[in-house]
């Protein structure tokens, strides 16, 4: 449910040294001109009051870049979403950089980077001297965005499942849902650092810990283990679709799945490691795990 140009990002810099405002620039493959920023809002407390400079993995000659970035506004105005380098106190996400904004022309945009790709410039305000980003305000931003999607689909405002839309004839927000839009980064270095290899939790049964959660529509995947397999990455864990069951699923499979409105699979950024017994108690209530996975 967002425009995600991470794979085409070349370089950028964002500046929050003037509180209440985020300015800066980014360069993307597929765009001749530099994109500039003038957003309302603040960084998270880990970098509030400072600048961040970041380098992406994009390539100037990326074959899909021009097609995907077509229509991306050169001047980005709107509201700051969640922008954090994942540093302490990590109010939102830990160990990686997350850059989100709600643009007037392009709707919600999200860029995800590894911590090693980001450099903090200047001294942030001491985190204990300011308040965390309001989750209520961010929920309103999201609800307005989803309300725009509902109106784009022709749903009456009084039937929309989200707040923030009151007039059926008000101007809809851009949705940017594209048939071949790349999804968010599902497998990060931080996940690889903590995810046990395949077979590591065999004997734990319901006490096996799920370290990452993926979801789209009515399908959810909780991964307890994972290992590279050729050019792919194979997970093992709990899958909930038509029913709940334990099994294997691959990264390429997750990247190809599309849910309602053709939305890609997303990773739960708020997920904390949880046992399978706590996720699905009905599956392990009467089981004495001695032999591991069924």
Q: How confident is the model at residue 212 (pLDDT cuts 50, 70, 90)?
A: very high
> Measuring CA to CA, which residue among 109, 121, 117 is closest to residue 80?
109
Q: Is the per-residue pLDDT at 210 higher than 70?
A: yes
> Which pLDDT value is given to residue 91?
84
Q: Is residue 293 part of a domain?
A: no
Q: Is residue 56 part of a domain?
A: yes
Q: How many helices (H) and strands (E) does the chain have?
A: 6, 15
CA–CA dist 209, 37 (Å, integer): 41
Reduced to 3 states, what is the DSSP secondary structure of residue 264? strand
Domain count, the chain: 2
DSSP state of 284: H
CA–CA dist 256, 290 (Å, integer): 35
16 and 88 share one domain:
yes
pLDDT per position as a tens digit, 56-100: 999 999 888 998 899 999 999 999 999 999 999 888 877 889 999
11 and 87 share one domain:
yes
- Mean pLDDT along residues 41-52: 95
Cα dihedral sign, 28-133-86-20: positive
Q: Is residue 44 part of a domain?
A: yes
Pairing of strands 266-267, 212-216: antiparallel
10 and 129 share one domain:
yes
Q: Is residue 232 part of a domain?
A: yes
127 and 211 share one domain:
no
pLDDT per position as a tens digit, 130-154: 888 887 777 777 767 666 655 655 5
108 and 14 share one domain:
yes
- The reported pTM is 0.63
Per the CB < 8 A criterion, the answer to whether 119 and 135 are in contact is: no
**Element (DSSP H or E) covering residue 138:** helix 135-152
Q: Which residues contact 207 (CB under 8 A, 6 or more apart)?
A: 275, 276, 277, 289
CA–CA dist 271, 235 (Å, integer): 17
- End-of-domain residue from the set 95, 110, 133: 133
The whole domain housing 96 covers 6-133
Q: Where are the beta strands (DSSP E) in 172-265?
A: 209-210, 212-216, 219-229, 232-240, 244-250
Cα dihedral sign, 101-103-107-109: negative
Q: Is residue 29 part of a domain?
A: yes
């Amino acid at each position: 449910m967002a425009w995600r140009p991470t794979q085409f990002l070349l370089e950028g810099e964002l500046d929050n040294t003037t509180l209440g405002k985020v300015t800066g620039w980014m360069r993307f493959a597929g765009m001749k001109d530099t994109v500039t920023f003038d957003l309302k809002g603040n960084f998270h407390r880990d970098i509030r009051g400072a600048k961040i400079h970041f380098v992406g993995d994009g390539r100037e000659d990326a074959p899909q870049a021009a097609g995907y970035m077509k229509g991306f506004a050169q001047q980005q105005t709107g509201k700051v979403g969640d922008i954090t380098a994942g540093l302490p106190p990590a109010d939102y996400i830990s160990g990686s950089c997350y850059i989100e904004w709600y643009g007037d022309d392009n709707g919600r945009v999200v860029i995800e980077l590894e911590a090693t790709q980001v450099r903090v410039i200047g001294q942030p305000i001491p985190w204990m001297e300011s308040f965390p980003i309001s989750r209520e305000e961010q929920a309103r931003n999201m609800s307005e965005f989803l309300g725009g999607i509902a109106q784009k689909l022709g749903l009456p405002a009084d039937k929309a499942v989200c707040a923030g839309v009151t007039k059926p004839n008000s101007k809809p927000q851009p949705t940017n849902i594209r048939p071949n839009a790349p999804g968010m980064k599902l497998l990060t270095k931080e996940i690889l650092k903590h995810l046990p290899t395949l077979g590591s939790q065999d004997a734990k049964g319901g006490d096996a810990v799920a370290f990452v959660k993926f979801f789209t529509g009515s399908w959810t995947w909780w991964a307890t283990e994972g290992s590279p397999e050729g050019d792919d990455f194979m997970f093992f864990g709990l899958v909930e679709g038509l029913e709940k069951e334990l099994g294997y699923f691959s990264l390429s499979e997750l990247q190809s799945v599309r849910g309602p409105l053709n939305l890609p699979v997303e990773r739960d950024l708020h997920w904390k490691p949880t046992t399978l017994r706590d996720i699905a108690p009905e599956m392990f209530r009467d089981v004495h795990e001695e032999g591991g996975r069924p």
